[in-house]
Amino acid sequence: MGAMEPAQLDRPPYADLDRMPSDTLAMLVATLDAMTRHPEIRRVRHTAWELLRPAPGQRLLDAGCGTGDVARELAAAVGTEGEVIALDRSQATLAAARERQQGGNVRYATGDVCDLDLDDNSVDGVWCERVLQHVRDPDRAIAELVRVTRSGGRVCLLDTDWASLAFDGVQSALAGAVLRQARGRLTPHQHDLGRTLRRRLVDHGLTTITATPVTCYFPDPGSAAVVLPMVNPAVPAHTWAAPHDLWSDWLAEIRAAGARGDFLAVLTIWVVAADV
């Protein structure tokens, strides 16, 4: 794993993946792959899948698709009569997604979720997972997602509430210092976005809304490190400008808790769907 350039991480990496050095990008793509396999992320996605209910023949948008794992699953569900538009602002991420595509009905597109190059009422449903937390104006993005969804379609938003992150088995003062340091560097500026999704959809005039908080449970440091960057020893300390002692003390604390078997972390990811 190569070192990240400190100057290039003035904001969390997923906000602008194409500005990342290639080794950092490779690490982040590998992280997205590991998340796809993680049972807690699978549980979050299962909740969303049940709400979106993708069906044969539909035209769906995966907004902020990353490496496209969900887009390909959606494509299998809509079948050859349907289509999935997999959109992301990162060309590098889309290149990785295209490499994984073997035929099928996914159309990859570079674009900004805040300014979609799609007609009004042109898709049957939207999946938007862990993207809005990285966007400067989530309400504008939500307005766009609603605009492109046909009447009777459904928008499904999945997003993290980083303010819900809690640990046990580690010193709470140390954990608090780590979380303060990580905010805005490893975790996004839209810190509590997940819990705000329902309100934002109400503000957009939507009335039939289902909001489900899914609390992800990580009973060991290895499981947590896939989803929580501040627990991942592969993330260099200078990435988030942590004082060296804080980072090394924290990693030692996590290792010790893991060895004792009493490490615990929890993080809530919200799944919020609305009829348009």
What gap in Å lies between CA 196 and CA 161, rounded to an integer? 9
- Specify the pairing of strand 123-129 against strand 149-168: parallel
- Pick out residues in 110-169 that bind ligand SAM (CB under 6 A): 112-114, 129-131, 134-135
Report the chain's terminal Cα–Cα distance, integer Å.
44
Given candidates 12, 48, 82, 89, which one binds ligand SAM under the rule CB under 6 A? 89
Contact between residue 271 and residue 214 where contact means Cβ atoms under 8 Å apart: yes
Residue 47 CB, shortest distance to ligand SAM, in Å, is 14
131 vs 206 by CB, closer to ligand SAM: 131
Give min distance, CB of 167 to ligand SAM, in A. 21
Is 93 one of the binding residues for ligand SAM (CB under 6 A)?
yes
Nearer to ligand SAM, 234 or 259 (CB): 234
Using CB positions, name the residue nearest to ligand SAM. 66
- At 187 the three-state DSSP class reads strand
Interatomic CA distance for residues 225 and 245, integer angstroms: 20
Residue 90 binding ligand SAM, by CB under 6 A:
yes
Among 32, 74, 175, 254, binds ligand SAM (CB under 6 A): 32
Q: Minimum distance between the CB of residue 55 and ligand SAM, rounded to whole angstroms?
A: 21
Q: Give the sign of the dihedral formed by CA 72, CA 77, CA 80, CA 84.
A: negative
SS (H, E, C) 78-104: HCCCCEEEEEECCHHHHHHHHHHCCCC
Dump the DSSP string for 188-226: -SSTTHHHHHHHHHHHTT---EEEEEEEEEE-SHHHHHH
**Residue whose CB is less far from ligand SAM, 33 or 249:** 33
**Which residue, 36 or 210, is less far from ligand SAM as judged by CB?**
36
For ligand SAM, give the closer residue by CB, 90 or 169: 90
- Pick 122 or 174: Cβ nearer ligand SAM: 122
* Contact residues: ligand SAM, CB under 6 A: 14, 17, 32, 64-66, 88-90, 93, 112-114, 129-131, 134-135
